[in-house]
Amino acid sequence: MTSGDAHAREGDAGLLAPVSAGSPAEAATGDGAVLRAMLDAEAALARAQVGVGGVPGRAAEVVTKAVGSGRFDARELALRAGAGGNPVIPLVADLRAVVAELSPGDEEFVHRGATSQDILDTALMLVAARTLDLIGADLAATAASLATLADRHGATVMAARTLTQHAVPTTFGLKAAGWRSLVLDAHDRVVRVRATLPVQLGGAAGTLGAFEAYGMEGEGLVAAFASELRLCAPELPWHVLRTPVADLAGVLAFCAGALGKVAADVLVLSRTEVGEVAEGTGGVSSSMPHKRNPVRSVLLASAARQVPALVSTLYASMAAEDERPPGAWHAEWSPLREALRLCGGAARGAAVLCGELSVFPARMRGNLALGEAVGGVGAAERMVARALGRGVLGAAGC
């Protein structure tokens, strides 16, 4: 068997993606998940059209049964997608064939009035929604662990570092509260954008004309379609109005950066010569068995560096021509999915990292004592007492 044959049989196993390999986000964004989302969109469209008189109830039931038949192969669809430029075209052909077997004649009600972009955009919003739900839960868990650290170490004195050098004293509790603030900001943005993700439905040129030609009222159909999938109903078809993707891109970039900040600090504080924190389950080395590498932080840092580059493609794709874009739309698919996957893997890693983080107050105090320029431990304690008196560390309870 050649390496190409092996890839075709096994798919992407995540060998070079340790940030997300094995995470719930990996499964939620894989080819199987995208295929399920496209099928969900097709079934939801048929059911929504029943309510506006475009499809008989019997036919919608058959379409729904067909999408659950398990007779659709993602790899086969991928290989056939090149002929039309997207995987929806071969999927619709296969879905019609299955419906025809189950109920001859009802295949005409599959994909009625829709265009490929309607289904794929909607499917990717479904994938995003399902992945953001996972990310939100992990961010909430991370914030809870950081609140515990902030409360526990409100008076744990350490050196603040600016431009890599000792500055004035601070506390680890304040640092953890700062991390928590960023994570909560990311969580708020994830929840907010999740609540706005829309379906896509406009037909060939965004006019809803094909649906109306079948006697369906367009606005009512869009609302029913959105209700079926528990997504939002957009004011207009957004084939070339890519606000939903741009908003999602911004949230993913912020999320990756927020978790990357936590990782960056842990990487510095866990250096051998600093030794102020350590990951609860440090990683191993292939050549130096004595090492305890901060691998979760390493992987979070890698995600923080990758996501902005992916997001730049999503922003660039906003400059889309005409009523259906040649290339800009197609360029979004892979970076959007990878950004979701990286953020999902990073959020899961951060939840574990912050839940297991070991803190060494004695080492923090010893390192602080090395910096004569900051006034010594006594001055540090007086500054911390004043800070506590002003409630600076109350952020953990807000």
pLDDT digit string (tens) for the chain, length 398 residues = 343 444 444 467 888 888 999 999 999 999 999 999 999 999 999 999 999 998 999 999 999 999 999 999 999 999 999 999 999 999 999 999 999 999 999 999 999 999 999 999 999 999 999 999 999 999 999 999 999 999 999 999 999 999 999 999 999 999 999 999 999 999 999 999 999 999 999 999 999 999 999 999 999 999 999 999 999 999 999 999 999 999 999 999 999 999 999 999 999 999 999 999 999 875 544 444 555 789 999 999 999 999 999 999 999 999 999 999 999 999 999 999 999 999 999 999 999 999 999 999 999 999 999 875 445 444 555 555 555 554 444 444 43
Characterize the bridge pairing of strands 277-278 and 165-171.
unpaired
- What is the distance between the alpha carbons of residues 384 and 375, in angstroms, rounded to a whole number? 13
- 33: Cβ contacts below 8 Å, ≥ 6 apart: 27, 127, 130
- 58: Cβ contacts below 8 Å, ≥ 6 apart: 103, 106
- 111: Cβ contacts below 8 Å, ≥ 6 apart: 42, 45, 92, 95, 96, 119
Q: Cβ(248)–Cβ(190) under 8 Å?
A: no
- What is the distance between the alpha carbons of residues 346 and 341, in angstroms, rounded to a whole number? 8
Q: What is the pLDDT of residue 136?
A: 98
Query: Is residue 285 among the annotated active site residues?
Result: yes
Strand partners, 169: 159
DSSP 108-175: GGTTTT--HHHHHHHHHHHHHHHHHHHHHHHHHHHHHHHHHHHHHTTT-EEEEEETTEEEEEEEHHHH
Q: What is the pLDDT of residue 283?
A: 53
- What is the distance between the alpha carbons of residues 223 and 48, in angstroms, rounded to a whole number? 8
* Catalytic one of 75, 230, 271, 285: 285
Q: Cβ(45)–Cβ(361) under 8 Å?
A: no
Considering the entire predicted model, what is its pTM? 0.89
* Catalytic one of 292, 324, 363, 365: 324
Q: What is the pLDDT of residue 288?
A: 44
Q: What is the pLDDT of residue 249?
A: 98
Query: Is residue 227 among the annotated active site residues?
Result: no
- What is the distance between the alpha carbons of residues 367 and 333, in angstroms, rounded to a whole number? 48
Q: Cβ(198)–Cβ(234) under 8 Å?
A: yes
- What is the distance between the alpha carbons of residues 235 and 238, in angstroms, rounded to a whole number? 9
User: How are the residues of the chain apportioned to helix, strand and coil, as percentages rounded to the nearest 5?
Assistant: 65, 5, 30
Q: What angle do CA 239, 245, 246 make, to 5 degrees?
A: 115
